[in-house]
Amino acid sequence: MKKPLNFAILKYMTTVNEACTEDVLCALKDGYSSFRAFNKSDVLNALLTAEANGLLEESRYDLDDEGQVRMFFRAHAEGAATINRYISN
- The predicted model scores a pTM of 0.94
| Residues above pLDDT 70, as percent of the chain | 100
Inter-CA distances, 40 with 53, 67, 77, 80, Å:
20, 16, 26, 23
**28 pLDDT tier (thresholds 50, 70, 90):** very high
How far is the C-alpha of 39 from the C-alpha of 36, rounded, in Å? 8
CB 17 within 8 A of CB 60: no
Domain ranges of the chain: 3-84
CATH 1.10.10.10 describes domain 3-84: yes
Q: Which residue has the higher pLDDT, 31 or 2?
A: 31
pLDDT value at residue 1: 76
pLDDT tens, position by position, 31-65? 999 999 999 999 999 999 999 999 999 999 999 99
